Amino acid sequence: MSKVVIITGKAGTGKTTVANILRKYGFYVLDVDSLAHSLLQNFKDDIIREFGNEVLSSDGIIDRKKLGEVVFKDPQKISKLERILHPTLEKRVKEMVEDREGDIFIDVAIPKKLSLYAIADFTIVVTSPQELVEERLRKKGWPEEKIKAVIGWQREECPEGRYYLVPNIGTFEELERKILSILKMEGLLDGKD
């Protein structure tokens, strides 16, 4: 029986690192953020109507960086963008899960807003202390104002159903061991290298 597993956590906690560990062991990971980015152009007219031409690149397509600069400063603008994107994004994720044979891991920051807990067997929630999160985001080259804005609007989601809290406060190897331990408990490592 195939399993659907959510991987979630705030920016800078190590959610993407966990997704990469899973890929390393041959698991299929659906990156919802990348999927959302690929859908942006489909909503170009709605996005321009809501946020103006300042979100366009010189060649007339939605510039994710410019859009991010506009919406991350204002939680109301984030909500407006979510109203534009989320119905289609939720539908597309659920279709991809249905079409997938075998286990699927969904790398997603906001599972509750996309109503994904209902389709998951369990959730892996990656956590880290705020100081460590800020340090990681600085290392990624995020400007201080973006770090403060994102940390300010990201809310702690209370996961629904079965979940594992995975503190990411040590080395990559420690994080990998924690993830492998969960996979073994869930019977997901059979036949994996």
Q: Which residues define the annotated binding site for ATP? A: 12-17
Name residue, tokens 């044979």: 101
What's the token pair of residue 14? 């190590």
DSSP string, 16-46: HHHHHHHHHTT-EEEEHHHHHHHHGGGGHHH
Binding residues: 12-17
Closest CA to 70 of 55, 60, 50: 55
User: CA 88 to CA 84: how far, in whole Å?
Assistant: 8
3-state helix, strand, coil in the chain (%, to 5): 55, 15, 35
